[in-house]
Amino acid sequence: MASRKEEKEALRRQRLEQEHAAASSERRRKILGYGVGGVIAVAAIVAIVFVALANPSSGGGAPTPAGNPAFPEGSVPPPRERNLDAAARAAGCQLTNARSEGGDHVATPVRYKANPPHSGDHTQDWAEDGAYTTPAEPKEKFVHVLEHGRIHIQYKPGSPDALKGSLKALYDEDPYHMVLSPNLTGMPYEVAATTWTKTLACPRANDRVYDAIRDFKAAYRDRGPEFIP
């Protein structure tokens, strides 16, 4: 029969073996965790690079829709005026709040009364949010986005690169639910912003126009009759 001393020694050895086994298991767990963490980090970097390559844009801002050349580089003055009416007056722009010209889905071209259009019949599908240099979408798709509460910034085709670059820089400040494109309806203004039944029309581009567009966006974005995320 084992003595009490021998029993204690056996228990001590058993405890040491258990502690050693537990320590070895913990080391293996940490090594595995580091390996998995490294794989995840590498995968995240690869995903970021892939997204960056798949969505090129000028100035590091929001992506330009597929098939559109990049906008010129540009900058925009910092905000100065937070009141929409005051900003529009300072920029020489006209603010209008009109009645809706309709909202049916049609498959044929529409002749709009307002220019640029602020409402009216439109196609069943709509243009994607984004900054377009050469939009392939018909004008009716851009009218549809206004019904969803988007803000559509427009400039005359053939505008100087400096203006296009500045408008893109303005768009990049906060591109959520925004569209930027050349006008498709021959509008008489150099720059305009529209949403459903609302228009900011600027006969001449100047440094105060950017505040007017910022304030127009703050006042009316996501306030169309249909909200689409």
How far apart CA 167 and CA 180 sit, in angstroms, is 8
In order of 21, 61, 134, 208, the CA distances from 170 in angstroms are 62, 10, 18, 12
- Comparison of pLDDT for 70 and 61, the residue scoring more: 70
Roughly what angle, to the nearest 10 degrees, separates helices 209-220 and 84-91?
150
The answer to whether residues 136 and 187 belong to one domain is yes
- Weakest-pLDDT range from 11-15, 57-61, 184-188: 57-61
**If you average pLDDT over every residue of the chain, what do you get?**
82
| 192 in any annotated domain | yes
The answer to whether residues 48 and 129 belong to one domain is no
The answer to whether residues 182 and 119 belong to one domain is yes
Please tell me the total count of domains within the chain: 2
Range of the domain at 27: 1-54
- Quote the pTM value: 0.73
| 67 in any annotated domain | no
| 65 in any annotated domain | no
| 69 in any annotated domain | no
Query: Which of 43-47, 57-61, 132-136, 197-201 is modeled with the greatest confidence?
Result: 197-201
For the cut 70, the answer to whether the pLDDT of residue 64 exceeds it is no
Q: What size, in residues, is the chain?
A: 229
Q: How confident is the model at residue 2 (pLDDT cuts 50, 70, 90)?
A: low
- The pLDDT tens digits for 176-189 are 999 999 999 999 99
Q: Write out the two tokens for 132.
A: 């377009």
